[in-house]
Structure 1
Amino acid sequence: MGRTTGIRVRDTILWFDDSGESDLPVVLCLHSLWLDRTMFDGFAAAARGRFRVVRPDFRGQGQSAPATEEVVTMEECADDMEAFIEALGLKEVHLLAQSMGGDVALRLVAKRPDLFASLTMAGSSARGEPEEQMAWIESYIESARRQGGFKGENLDTLMGIMFGESTRNDPSRQAMLQHWRDRMSATNLSLWPAILGVGYRKGILHLLSGIATPTLIISGAEDPVRPPAWSDEVAAGLQNARLVRVPKVGHSPTLEAPEQVLPQILDFIGERALAATA
């Protein structure tokens, strides 16, 4: 039976949704910064009957306990997720990660390959933020801090980061966009440690060659913050990777083009789950 609850993990409490089917392969979904575990609602619905879907909120995000540190690093989030997996007793986990979730996922599979049967990354990379971008990021974050959140032009900029131009101009996507615009405009200061953690993340390209976990990489052709070239280098650096480029899609492929992307993810995970039982 499915459940939504909190669990103590290390020094925090993480909230999560768990569809609960103990006899099905497990998919662990790791969300984007500024979004939360509900960004995988569509995937969970599409996966019903095929996979057990577990969706946590990261430390300091969603419904999970607020962060107590000034910066929540990607390494700390990876440690949280390792402890979360062990607390739930999950085995042969299939990771589905978007944006920040991918930063965490790569660290996880590099550290604990024994826990994972596959990895799917969407709108993510293995790079740190380029130095030339950091001054702009710091200015943007400070402007939002002074406003008490993301409003007006700052919110418009954030929408342009999270969603591609084609999506923003698509009449059929307006309800989805408005939903997340409303959610992001309600962001409060409790998210700042997570924002800083993503902004100051370290590059981990050097870890890629040691990762053998079968990986599907989904890259939006219009992604401005994790551009196609960054996905290309992840695919080239991993031992066992498949790259899918999605046209007219930006930074959030599973939300912008679910009709195209979710079936490919389900098929990939299904293939890996079948291989694991062969």
Structure 2
Amino acid sequence: MSITLETAPTLHVEAAGIRFAYRRLGPKTGIPLVLLQHFTGTMDAWDPLVVNALATDRPVIVFNNAGVGTSTGTVPDTVEQMAIDAETFIAALGLAEADLLGFSLGGFLAQVLAPRTKVKIRKIIIAGSAAKGGEEHLLQVVEDAFAKGARDVRLPLFFTPSQSSQDAGGAFIDRAAARTVERDPDSGEAVSNPQAKAIIGWCAETDPGHASLQAIRQPALIVHGSDDTMFPSINAYEMFKNTPDATLIIYPDSGHGALFQYPETFVSHVKTFLDA
């Protein structure tokens, strides 16, 4: 039986005094796709449908960055240090080359990692994210989402109020809960507080001429929801316009979690992009 996100054993690698927890699935050979997770998210917050489908024809690696979930260390309060920690993890695995898929906060990390040289990055996918100096409404949107009293805060946080989006959100929540063994603990304030500071700081920092985006020479696929309240879709357009080799896809009637609302479509787009 093939290994899935729901069944993959949790592995560990130590580097720079941090014991990183990760899971690996898919074939043994090929350029690995490393997944960079959203605000407060752990390995178990990924959509198994997305991860398993991506892993049918390439190695896929999910991990908990420093201080998150079952990884040791402390969560930094800057995007740059989070990116360095992620780079340390990727290098510790001995990967000669990797592709990156960064969702939300993970998309910030992908932007920082792409121009760096310690790890060779081939292509990047940025979903539901923003460039340095971008528009964010993190704290207000999270507060509003909790106030709605939904069965899972991700329903109002990641999906639009439409019935079809909420139905897709409910299906995602069920899929994400499927793993029952070695589940990561939910994140508390030791994760959320520094990560929130990092996100707000990243978006508050001006970046004249979009120098950070201009430095990304790799092909980039930018994916966004049409009605993302946390990072409005203008962010995706700004990234698209200022990244030298970027493709932009915006999904209809979708919020921050568009990649989980349209899992099959998203996987198809990612595979087409990575295989091109």
TM-score range relative to shorter protein? 0.7 to 0.9
Indicate the residue corresponding to 2:180 in structure 1: none
Q: SS of 2:65's equivalent? A: coil
Instruction: Sort the Cα spacing of 1:222 and 1:260 in 2 relative to 1 into closer, same or farther, 3 A.
Output: same
- C-alpha distance in structure 1 between counterparts of 2:267 and 2:194, whole Å: 31
- C-alpha distance in structure 2 between counterparts of 1:206 and 1:154, whole Å: 41
- C-alpha distance in structure 2 between counterparts of 1:157 and 1:171, whole Å: 14
Equivalent residue runs for 1:96-175 within 5 Å? 96-112=101-117, 115-128=120-133, 137=139, 152-153=147-148, 159-166=155-162, 169-175=165-171
Indicate the residue corresponding to 1:256 in structure 2: 261
Matched positions, count? 258
Indicate the residue corresponding to 1:196 in structure 2: 197
Indicate the residue corresponding to 1:33 in structure 2: 39
Instruction: Sort the Cα spacing of 1:175 and 1:246 in 2 relative to 1 into closer, same or farther, 3 A.
Output: closer
Indicate the residue corresponding to 1:275 in structure 2: none
The one-letter amino acid paired with 2:158 is M
Q: SS of 2:265's equivalent? A: helix
What is the CA-CA distance between 1:221 and the residue it aligns to?
Answer: 0.4
Equivalent residue runs for 1:224-239 within 5 Å? 224-239=229-244
Instruction: Sort the Cα spacing of 1:237 and 1:154 in 2 relative to 1 into closer, same or farther, 3 A.
Output: farther
Is residue 155–residue 166 contact of structure 2 (8 Å, CA) maintained in 1?
no
What is the CA-CA distance between 1:73 and the residue it aligns to?
Answer: 1.3
Kindly provide the CA deviation profile for residues 99-135 of structure 1, in whole angstroms up to 9, marking residues without a partner as x: 000000100012238611100111012034659x58x
Is residue 129–residue 200 contact of structure 1 (8 Å, CA) maintained in 2?
no
CA RMSD of aligned residues (A): 3.3
Matched, 1:10 2:11: no
Q: If the length of structure 1 is used for normalisation, what is the TM-score? A: 0.79
Structure 1: gaps spanning 5 or more residues? 145-149, 272-278
- C-alpha distance in structure 1 between counterparts of 2:200 and 2:164, whole Å: 24
Matched, 1:43 2:44: no
Is residue 123–residue 219 contact of structure 2 (8 Å, CA) maintained in 1?
yes
Match of 1:63 among 53, 70, 80: 70
Structure 2: gaps spanning 5 or more residues? 178-182
Instruction: Sort the Cα spacing of 1:49 and 1:34 in 2 relative to 1 into closer, same or farther, 3 A.
Output: same
Indicate the residue corresponding to 2:228 in structure 1: 223
Instruction: Sort the Cα spacing of 1:213 and 1:188 in 2 relative to 1 into closer, same or farther, 3 A.
Output: same
Instruction: Sort the Cα spacing of 1:261 and 1:203 in 2 relative to 1 into closer, same or farther, 3 A.
Output: farther
The one-letter amino acid paired with 1:265 is V
Kindly provide the CA deviation profile for residues 119-178 of structure 1, in whole angstroms up to 9, marking residues without a partner as x: 0111012034659x58xx3x888x89xxxxx95548787643333333775335424246
State percent identity of aligned pairs: 22
Range with greater deviation from structure 2 (16-25 or 216-225): 16-25
- C-alpha distance in structure 2 between counterparts of 1:63 and 1:114, whole Å: 24
What is the CA-CA distance between 1:3 and the residue it aligns to?
Answer: 4.4
Matched, 1:78 2:74: no
Is residue 47–residue 175 contact of structure 2 (8 Å, CA) maintained in 1?
no
What is the CA-CA distance between 1:80 and the residue it aligns to?
Answer: 0.9
Moved runs in structure 1, 4+ residues, more than 4 A? 150-159, 178-181
Is residue 29–residue 40 contact of structure 1 (8 Å, CA) maintained in 2?
no
Q: SS of 2:114's equivalent? A: helix
The one-letter amino acid paired with 2:201 is Y
Instruction: Sort the Cα spacing of 1:83 and 1:6 in 2 relative to 1 into closer, same or farther, 3 A.
Output: same
